[in-house]
Structure 1
Amino acid sequence: MKRAIFISLLSFILFPILSQNFTFSDSARVSLLTCSPGKKVYEKFGHTAIRVNDPVTGIDVVFNFGVFDFNTKNFYLKFVKGETDYQLAVYDTKSFLEEYKNRNSIVWEQKLNLTLDEKRNLLHSLLKNYEPENRFYRYNFVYDNCSTRPRDKIVQSINGRVEYQLFTEPATFREMISEYTGENSWLQFGLDLIFGCDADKTVSRNVSMFLPENLMYEFQAAHIIDPNGAKRHLISESGTLISKQEEKFSDFLPIFQPMFVCTFLLILGIIITIFNNQKSFRLFDSLLYIISGLGGIVVFYLAFFSSHPLVKNNFNLLWLNPLNFVLGILLWFHKMKPYVFYYQVLNCFLIFLALVAYAAGFQVFNPASFPLILLLLLRSVRWTATTKKDFSQKKKNNRAYYTNGNGLHLHTRKK
């Protein structure tokens, strides 16, 4: 909250200065700032901003499209629904760099090789965007974020076109994102659960620049082609403003990683299945289905009601079923056994379809998901077999058959 207030006050102070007939001098410099990832979730992918430094007028400011406020009314609900509004803020470069120094992030600077008219076009566009009625925008993690906005402003101000030269190996959204979150992290595990099959599409060069470091690399190798066909580098000079300080990290114990935890649960489920302790497996299954059901509810909501990209068409819902939550409660009611039986038959079929979807390449599942999938399948098969056996035994115990002299079948309840 303090950060949001500080940025708002600083922006309020700076805006009148910048809006009063400001013009570049010939020595003005415009550059792209790229910040390396931080430790917090919203810092994991880095950051991009535009710096305008004019030594003649003494103005040295940063235009930052990545400002949001956790204390906005219904912030978390809006975030889940994909309705978070970000804003453009302007504050002095010294404050900006100090913040990223405290985060221990690297800050790279790439000076843009723009003509004076192009610089003026860019600044005019930024100031127009900073007007109170224009500064807020609906954030989209992939298609409209703190990296794509600066890129678009720069490209639109150029008299000509930008030609990108960097060769990059084709990659999917999921692969690109996992490079920043870590393949074995809980964050990536969670993202893989909520991401649908759209996350496994190959990303185009233009879209790949939603990641700040990708934008930096692309700009470094890019050229500007003016209307006369003349070619010049987009970046005239590059350097590092802040270097990262050496940190000592303790190795993340593998026992706390998703794969270990999920495998442990699978082994525990196998043991309970083998020893067939009625009380133990009922409690275990109830917790298993309730927790998986809660996860399924989140995934279902994102898939059908959220505006976030990449979360639609999610095959994880085949095994992470929201109805598991209800099942976890019904297990404790003996009269519900017939419903449990039919649901478990359906559940086995859906889990099988999930595995088929993965095998067919429709969607990539996180490796740590498979122990959970096998565990849910194992317990569903066990419940199906046990319940069916109980039905047969009950039918046999409740009926005794004998034939009278007329050949009629009479039924009597066993005493």
Structure 2
Amino acid sequence: MKLASRLLLTLALLLCSAYAWASVSEASGSNLEVSLITYGPGDIYWERFGHDAIELRDTASGEEIDFNYGVFNFDEKNFFINFARGQMHYLINAEVTRDEEDFYKQAGRSITKQRLALTPAQAVALRDFLFWNLRPKNAVYNYDYYVDNCTTRVRDALDRALGGAVQSRLTTLPSGMTYRQQTVRLMSAQPWLMLILDLGLGPYADHPLNAWQESFLPEELQKNLRHITIPDNHGVTQPLVQSEELLSPNRLSAPPTTPPDLRIPLGIAGLLLAALIVLTWHHAPLIYALLSELFLLLAGAAGLLMLILWTLTTHHSAWANANLLLFNPFAFAWLRPLWRARRGVGLSRFANGALLLQLIALLAAMLLHLLPDVVQQNQPWILFALPCWLALAWALRQTKQV
């Protein structure tokens, strides 16, 4: 009986979904109600940026469908290889609204509904575009974190239906943060991941944004739509957002409204590590060697990863990363000399030259910030790396003099 009941329930849900699709796809423009549904950030790292969807509702039948662009498939061939190379394939999906909302309610994520003032002709144009986009040959797109994601696709679909009204207005409004600041803010609940992302972002992430660009985030698009006015059928100006309703409150820890300032904690961490290196150099050679080797391993691995992201992937937000002046594969060149240095063995000519190059790179990283119009904001990592490298250089030079 249980199996039969489940089969009947599944069949009923499928029939309801098919009915809802048919109802919305055939509704007249005067019966189509368009809303933006915004879901708050979740706990898992890929949920930290939030999510959204376009809801189409047939007011005659009451049927509702959510269209969202945030579907990906872990089982796709070479998914993780493509992900690493920056070739991520996402696609549009459509579900009955109540099924979609139930998922987010159970997860404790907020749900906000903004009913939009589209004319019947605009609502039909949006509906037809979304159903066209659902076709298998049109559904997949190449995902980009900042310029082509599940929210920019929603934004662009609305802008298309409104004849460019969204873009023309939002490009005139400044934003409050950069891509880096928004990323650090939203990922601050996972500090190690936040630090890795901040280290790996290049100058692209620090360019000033306008409100159109910052609407890559669901919460920013939700906020920015409140600033848009459009003409109605009679040419009278009206707000795009006719009403806004919180359907379900947030039950999770909300991200901070401003990004954390990483300069002080990373600067303190760099000073502490440098002090330990200097203090243990004479009194505890083995601890000195282990601390220094760990720093060099991390610096070399970070540099190698940044170099790969720049040269072998399409992650353009990681290209031309100035942090390569601070952490680079040359760090591996000192692993063996440093381990031998704990016994008083001096530097080889090669290791001494590599050390000099690293100190020149450190100087270049600092001088870059004295130049006008410097884009990349990597001061926290300069404050961390500078004392560490100086401490290592001092200890190695002392060893050479032994």
Q: TM-score, normalized by length of structure 2? A: 0.82
Take 1:260 and 1:317, find their aligned partners in 2: how far apart are those partners? 21
Residue 180 of structure 1 aligns with an amino acid whose one-letter code is: L
Matched-pair contact (CA < 8 Å) for 2:303–2:324 = yes
1:281 aligns with 2:281: no
CA displacement, residues 31-62 of structure 1 (integer Å, 9 cap, x when unaligned) = 10111111211111111111112142343111
For 1:207, what is the secondary structure of its paired residue? helix
Q: Unaligned regions of 5+ residues in structure 2, if any?
A: 1-12, 256-264
CA displacement, residues 270-292 of structure 1 (integer Å, 9 cap, x when unaligned) = 3224x264443333322221121
Take 1:277 and 1:57, find their aligned partners in 2: how far apart are those partners? 78
Change (3 A) 1:260 1:46: farther
Displacement, 1:231? Answer: 2.2
Corresponding residue to 2:206 among 176, 179, 200: 200
Corresponding residue to 1:345 among 356, 360, 367: 356
Displacement, 1:227? Answer: 10
Change (3 A) 1:350 1:67: same
CA displacement, residues 78-105 of structure 1 (integer Å, 9 cap, x when unaligned) = 2221111111111111121122112211
- The equivalent residue for 1:375 is 388
CA displacement, residues 244-291 of structure 1 (integer Å, 9 cap, x when unaligned) = 237699xxxxxxx76665554233223224x26444333332222112
- The equivalent residue for 1:325 is 332
Displacement, 1:321? Answer: 0.8
Take 2:239 and 2:196, find their aligned partners in 1: how far apart are those partners? 41
Change (3 A) 1:366 1:54: farther
Matched-pair contact (CA < 8 Å) for 1:19–1:127 = no
1:222 aligns with 2:228: yes
For 2:314, what is the secondary structure of its paired residue? coil
- The equivalent residue for 1:406 is none
Matched-pair contact (CA < 8 Å) for 1:295–1:320 = yes
Take 1:246 and 1:78, find their aligned partners in 2: how far apart are those partners? 32
Change (3 A) 1:20 1:244: closer
Residue 362 of structure 2 aligns with an amino acid whose one-letter code is: I
CA RMSD of aligned residues (A): 3.3
Matched-pair contact (CA < 8 Å) for 2:147–2:216 = yes
Matched-pair contact (CA < 8 Å) for 1:159–1:226 = no
CA displacement, residues 358-395 of structure 1 (integer Å, 9 cap, x when unaligned) = 444442126365233321232034324533x25xxxxx
Change (3 A) 1:98 1:263: farther
Corresponding residue to 1:212 among 203, 218, 223: 218
- The equivalent residue for 1:272 is 280
Matched-pair contact (CA < 8 Å) for 1:186–1:258 = no
- The equivalent residue for 2:9 is none
Q: Which range moves more in the overlay, 261-270 or 96-105?
A: 261-270
Change (3 A) 1:246 1:285: closer
Displacement, 1:164? Answer: 3.0
Take 1:30 and 1:175, find their aligned partners in 2: how far apart are those partners? 32
- The equivalent residue for 1:242 is 248
Change (3 A) 1:305 1:248: closer
For 2:92, what is the secondary structure of its paired residue? strand
Take 1:117 and 1:78, find their aligned partners in 2: how far apart are those partners? 40
- The equivalent residue for 2:8 is none
Take 2:293 and 2:69, find their aligned partners in 1: how far apart are those partners? 46
Change (3 A) 1:89 1:331: same
Displacement, 1:356? Answer: 2.0
Residue 207 of structure 1 aligns with an amino acid whose one-letter code is: Q
- Percent identical residues: 25
Q: Which range moves more in the overlay, 349-358 or 223-232?
A: 223-232
Displacement, 1:132? Answer: 0.5
Aligned length: 373
Residue 227 of structure 2 aligns with an amino acid whose one-letter code is: A
Change (3 A) 1:289 1:246: closer
CA displacement, residues 201-236 of structure 1 (integer Å, 9 cap, x when unaligned) = 101222111111111111122112479964222111
Change (3 A) 1:102 1:262: farther
- The equivalent residue for 1:23 is 26
Displacement, 1:127? Answer: 0.6
Take 1:309 and 1:281, find their aligned partners in 2: how far apart are those partners? 38
CA displacement, residues 174-212 of structure 1 (integer Å, 9 cap, x when unaligned) = 223333223993333212210111211101222111111
Q: Unaligned regions of 5+ residues in structure 1, if any?
A: 1-9, 250-256, 391-415
For 2:246, what is the secondary structure of its paired residue? strand
Take 2:329 and 2:192, find their aligned partners in 1: how far apart are those partners? 21
For 1:237, what is the secondary structure of its paired residue? strand
Matched-pair contact (CA < 8 Å) for 2:37–2:53 = yes
Corresponding residue to 1:124 among 98, 123, 128: 128
1:308 aligns with 2:308: no
**Structure with more helix by fraction:** 2
Q: Which range moves more in the overlay, 48-57 or 159-168?
A: 159-168
